[in-house]
Homo-oligomer: A and B are copies of this chain.
Amino acid sequence: MTLEAQSQTAGTWPVAFRPYQTNQHQSALSVYRANSEIFGQGEPSGALYRVEFGCVRIGRVTADGRRQLCGFSFAGEVFGWESDEEHRFFAEAVGETGVRVLRPGRDAEASQKLLSLVLTSMRRIQEHLLALGGTKVDERFADFLCEMAERQGDDCLVRLPMPRSDIGDYLGVSFETVSRILRRLKERGIIRIPDTHSVQILDYESLLEISRRKLS
Contacts and interface: CB of A to CB of B under 8 A. Distances in A.
A118 B60 CA distance: 21
**Copies assembled:** 2
Nearest to A116: B83
B115 A215 contact: no
A71 B61 CA distance: 23
Size category, A interface: 35 or more
Contacts of A108: 106-108, 111
Chain A's interface: helix, strand, loop or mixed, by majority? mixed
A129 interface: yes
Contacts of A112: 111
Contact of A119 (B63, B81, B120, B214): B81
Interface in A151-178: 169, 171-172
A216 B61 contact: yes
A212 interface: yes
Interface in A121-174: 121-123, 125-126, 128-130, 132-135, 169, 171-172
Interface of A: 41-42, 60-66, 68, 70, 81-84, 88-89, 106-108, 111-112, 114-116, 118-123, 125-126, 128-130, 132-135, 169, 171-172, 212, 214-216
